[in-house]
Amino acid sequence: MDEALRAKLDEARKRMNIQQAGINADRKDDDPAMREWAREKQKPANAERAEFRNSLTDEERNQIEERIEQLVRDNPTLSQMDARPLESKTDSPPVSAELLEEYHFLRDMVA
């Protein structure tokens, strides 16, 4: 994956993760109004994610798919974790949290 695409994806992932963390925190609030507000904030967050995904060129998608394949080759346990949610607390992942986050983010971008 070229450096320009890597930087673009890293910036988007960081921005989206910060935004999602705030939404998730509001969802856990005791105040029903805050929880409702979080649900309403999720819609624009989903739209931003979809807009970013749709802005990717075919070449960028190909590079992302190649990176996913490389991650799976280097970490075969990733292919076994596809059905498992990222927040699963039953077992500690056999790969680093950072690598797992990258893998799930990239898969979401080419979905």
Model pLDDT for residues 65-108, shown as the tens digit of each residue: 999 999 999 998 887 765 455 555 555 667 898 999 999 999 99
Stretch 7-20: mean pLDDT:
95
Q: Single out the residue of 72, 55, 62 nearest to residue 11, CA to CA.
A: 55
Are 42 and 21 in contact, with CB atoms under 8 Å apart? no
Asked which of 3-7, 35-39, 93-97 is least confident by mean pLDDT, the reply is 93-97
Hey, where are the domains in the chain? 1-55, 58-111
Give counts: helices (H), strands (E), the chain.
5, 0
**CA-to-CA distance for 10 and 20, rounded, in angstroms?**
15
Q: What is the pLDDT at residue 83? A: 47
**CA-to-CA distance for 45 and 19, rounded, in angstroms?**
7
The reported pTM is 0.79
CA atoms within 13 A on the CB side of 22: 10
